[in-house]
Amino acid sequence: MASFGLAAADHAPGHAPQQSIPEAWRAYAAVVGGVLPAWLDARSPAAARLRAQLDALRVSDSPETYDLPLRLWAAADGRITRLETPTLPSGGAEEAGVRGLMLGRQLPQAPPADLRWPIRLVLKITPPPAAAGSTPRQ
Chain centre distance of CA 94? 13
- Those residues with Cβ within 8 angstroms of residue 39's Cβ, 6 or more apart along the chain or in another chain: 47, 101, 102, 105
Distance between CA atoms of residues 72 and 103, nearest Å? 9
Average pLDDT, rounded, for the chain: 79
Residue 78 is predicted with a pLDDT of 96
pTM for this model (two decimals): 0.74
Domain boundaries, the chain: 2-7+22-125
Residue 86 is predicted with a pLDDT of 86
| Amino acid of residue 124 | K
